[in-house]
A and B are shown apart, each in its own frame.
Chain A
Amino acid sequence: MNADYILLFFLTGILMVAGGMIMAYMISPKSENKQKRETYESGIPTIGKTWVQFKVGYYLFAILFLIFDVETVFIFPWAVAMKKVGMTAFVEILIFFVILGIGLLYAWKKNALEWE
């Protein structure tokens, strides 16, 4: 049963991408010149290599994102069982959130969320 859904997603994905490409190939007017091949057509010409080193600041955001991502994973089953368990579940998730909220406060206080 689940396999059918997977197949459906798979085919839809292929159809969406391939269909778009084939349609564009078929109906688009074609003209070829050097300017067309630039990264930003009619924009500012790019200077230097595309492969530049990114700012380290991104990494901290990536790690913070990952930590809150893990948190989300625990919220999924909580949300499903919440109604059945009732008030206890609410208190439990509140404790969970408060402890993680301290982390967010720490990040805020240490200017980790600041972009510099």
Chain B
Amino acid sequence: MEQIITYILLALMLIFSVMTVTSGRILRSAVYLLTVLVATAAIYFIMQYQFLAAVQITLYAGGIVVLIIFSILLTHHIEHRMENPVFWKAMISALAALGAVAMIAWVLKDAQSIQNVAGFIPPKMEDIGMALLSYGKQGYVLPFEVISVLLLAAMIGAIAVAKPALLQFKNKNFKQDDQ
């Protein structure tokens, strides 16, 4: 049962991944990508990594896709349809993709599934929380607090970069309106 569902999900991921890169319309690509990310979350659920699945859905399916869709909607020519690439470019891309597959296969050839390791218990969310909050050995409280500083820096950076650009955009539009 579990295996069948896993294979269905993997097939879905493969199909939608291919559709993401082959679709000529960029907004559709973003939606196909969303499907791939949600299917990945489902795979995590099956592997009993609940926290990872929740992160996958909130951050990737929720946050990153929203960001991608916004960036697409901000571009000038959304309706623009991508032409099919010329043959030699497609060949080079295929070669690069094959190289990546070969590299991953080479890394994974000795690895065994973590589920097969004796005494494997999937990590519970509580354990992750305990590790995040403990300040003893194997505790991650300092990284946890430093993350908030990182997020603060990201926020300030985003505002510092985007705000002048926003004002510029506004002024440009006003000028256009005057003409």
Residues on A lying within 8 angstroms of B by beta carbon are 2-7, 10, 49, 51, 53-54, 56-60, 62-67, 69-74, 76-82, 84-85, 88-89, 92, 95-97, 99-100, 102-104, 106-107, 110-112, 116
Contact = CB atoms under 8 A, between A and B. Distances in A.
Given A53-B75, A88-B133, A99 B45 contact: no
A63 B78 contact: no
A104 B130 CA distance: 27
Nearest to A54: B73
Interface of B: 1-2, 5-6, 9, 42, 45-46, 48, 51, 54-55, 58-59, 62-64, 66-67, 70-71, 73-76, 78-79, 125-126, 128-130, 132-135, 141, 144-145, 147-149, 151-152, 154-156, 158-159, 162-163, 165-166, 169-170
Taking chain A's interface residues, is the majority helix, strand, or loop, or is none over half, making it mixed?
Answer: helix
Q: Which 5 pairs across A and B sit closest by C-beta, in order of nearness?
A: A81-B129, A77-B129, A3-B2, A51-B79, A103-B155
Given A49-B79, A67-B151, A102-B152, A62 B66 contact: yes
A2 B129 contact: no
Contact of B156 (A73, A84, A103, A111): A103
Contacts of B152: 99-100, 102-103
Interface-central residue, A3, A54, A97, by most chain B CB under 10 Å: A3
19 contacts: A2-B46, A2-B48, A3-B46, A54-B70, A54-B74, A56-B166, A62-B67, A66-B67, A67-B158, A70-B63, A74-B144, A76-B54, A76-B125, A77-B126, A77-B128, A77-B129, A78-B133, A84-B130, A96-B147
